[in-house]
A = this chain, B = another copy of it.
């Protein structure tokens, strides 16, 4: 396959290497590799576009809603200009692509895949997220994960992987969930489980608490049960799942850890993009 990697951060450079390593024909643009003072990227892309089957854009696609996210390049590419460029039997793969942009491309017969629509992407990302969370716990705690009392709030994709790894490392792992299917899955996976009513009674025994729920589950009431030497690692995307003010006033340490895959394992993060692209290729064949 012939790939044009267009914009994005260093993850896209590593992704280009993965694709090339797998035998694909790969070209990069807007990644700081275009020689300066010359033809604008958009023109070059226009000239080159017919040589590629797949165009791989950044994640996120745009920050300001107008320009392609292209932090490693001095050049800029307007989304509006791209619409005319993307023609023919092409496939675009990128992340968080604006809806109206996607619609226009589909009108132009472009097949569009958004990473964020791919459940397997968040499942695979749960691996570096869980490891990153465990790494932080190892760094911060004066005790080993082995034998620690650990509570995982939420049993979605990240909660499942994290609880599994904590258990594998010998932590006494408790999961707090809502649904009866989750309690059943915890039993299958040899994890202690509790619900949000009963969790308060065990919270004071915890040495570390990981939150994966994007809602204020660690409110002031629940935080009031937390021991002062307990570490809280909040993995929920902004604004997180804790009453940070209450925690600060009461000397409870919370680390709000975001975007862990790119931080703790950038090559793995790029490799996950690669795997998703391979799946897409497989599905199209």
Chain A residues with CB under 8 Å of chain B are: 118-121, 123-124, 126-128, 131-132, 134-135, 138-139, 141-147, 160-161, 164-165, 168-170, 180-181, 183-185, 187-190, 195, 264-268, 271, 275-276, 279, 282-283
Contact = CB atoms under 8 A, between A and B. Distances in A.
B265 A141 contact: yes
Contacts of A276: 180
Count the copies: 4
B188 A267 contact: no
A123 B193 CA distance: 15
Nearest to A172: B190
B143 A265 contact: yes
A5 to B, nearest CB: 19
Contacts of A275: 184
Given A138-B264, A180-B279, A131 B119 contact: no
A142 B268 contact: yes
A124 B144 CA distance: 11
B165 A169 contact: yes
A120 B188 contact: no
Interface of A is mostly: helix
Nearest to A185: B123
Contacts of A160: 188
Given A138-B138, A188-B127, A188-B161, A180 B144 contact: no
Given A169-B168, A190-B170, A181 B142 contact: no
A163 to B, nearest CB: 11
Nearest to A189: B164
A131 B144 contact: yes
B187 A143 contact: no
B142 A180 contact: no
A36 to B, nearest CB: 28
A149 to B, nearest CB: 13
Contact of A142 (B138, B142, B187, B267): B267
B181 A119 contact: yes
A127 B144 contact: yes
A114 to B, nearest CB: 14
A225 B132 CA distance: 30
A263 to B, nearest CB: 10
B266 A120 contact: no
Contacts of A185: 123
